[in-house]
Chain A
Amino acid sequence: GEDVEQSLFLSVREGDSSVINCTYTDSSSTYLYWYKQEPGAGLQLLTYIFSNMDMKQDQRLTVLLNKKDKHLSLRIADTQTGDSAIYFCAEVDQGNLIFGKGTKLSVKP
């Protein structure tokens, strides 16, 4: 079946850049997504990238897609303490989302 893999933890200092990586298996995914879950909250759609794109930038967020290697990354520039959360990578399989286990980002002041 389809599978999405992410590292479980990432710790950075405030002001540094964070890079969260993800690998996926379904090469037919039209879109790939990043969701953010803050403590006690639901999943917030953070950004997404269409599969025919290599890069998408949205303010402090940069998404890079390497289709050949099935590798997706999320870069957060100037990471703030408010960015501390769990970040989920997701691919689409027949209209439904396949999630990774999530990467817990800790931002130290």
Chain B
Amino acid sequence: EAGVTQFPSHSVIEKGQTVTLRCDPISGHDNLYWYRRVMGKEIKFLLHFVKESKQDESGMPNNRFLAERTGGTYSTLKVQPAELEDSGVYFCASSRDRGYEQYFGPGTRLTVT
């Protein structure tokens, strides 16, 4: 069984540019989560999809972040326009049941200069 995959593994962009991160969950996992770790801080929850629906987006920092999961398969997280404080590692996770056994991808390291 393939694990959670994320693309790209690393992205370096300038402040004001747009970046789109992609996550492919484990096949059959309806629950998909985005988390983020900024330098020196905890890994923080961003949002949770159940299939194509946003179940909880309470962790999204502001309206520069837009997440989608069209068709309930892969998900994208767009940051537009990017700011310096958006730098960090963005993790995606998926699970069969809500909250239970979340499997994480390798993360996308975003650097905004």
Neighbouring B residues of A99 by C-beta, 8 Å: 35, 42-44
Neighbouring A residues of B99 by C-beta, 8 Å: 30-31, 92, 94-97
Asked if A34 is at the interface of the complex by the 8 Å CB criterion, the answer is no
Which residue of chain B lies nearest to A4 when distances are taken between CB atoms in the complex? B42
Picked from B42, B44, B104, the residue with its CB within 8 Å of the CB of A43 is B104
Neighbouring A residues of B103 by C-beta, 8 Å: 45
Query: Number of contacts between A and B (CB, 8 Å)?
Result: 56
Neighbouring B residues of A30 by C-beta, 8 Å: 99
Picked from A44, A45, A95, A100, the residue with its CB within 8 Å of the CB of B48 is A95
Q: How far is the CA of A99 from the CA of B89 in the complex (A)?
A: 14
Q: List 24 A-B contacts (CB under 8 A).
A: A4-B42, A35-B104, A41-B106, A42-B4, A42-B6, A42-B104, A42-B106, A43-B91, A43-B104, A45-B102, A45-B103, A96-B33, A96-B48, A96-B59, A96-B99, A97-B33, A97-B35, A97-B43, A97-B99, A97-B102, A98-B45, A99-B35, A99-B44, A101-B40
Number of interface residues of B (CB under 8 A): 27
* Shortest Cβ-Cβ A-B pairs, 8 listed: A95-B99, A42-B106, A43-B104, A99-B43, A95-B98, A96-B45, A92-B99, A42-B104
Neighbouring B residues of A45 by C-beta, 8 Å: 101-104
Q: How far is the CB of A57 from chain B (nearest CB, A)?
A: 18
Neighbouring B residues of A31 by C-beta, 8 Å: 99-100
Q: Point out residues on B near A: beta carbons under 8 Å.
A: 4, 6, 31, 33, 35, 40-45, 48, 55-56, 59, 91, 93, 98-107
Q: Quick one: which of A21-58 are within 8 Å of B by CB? A: 30-31, 35, 41-45, 48
Also in contact, A101 and B104, with CB within 8 A (given A96-B48, A96-B56): no
Neighbouring A residues of B105 by C-beta, 8 Å: 42
Q: How far is the CB of A60 from chain B (nearest CB, A)?
A: 20
Neighbouring B residues of A87 by C-beta, 8 Å: none
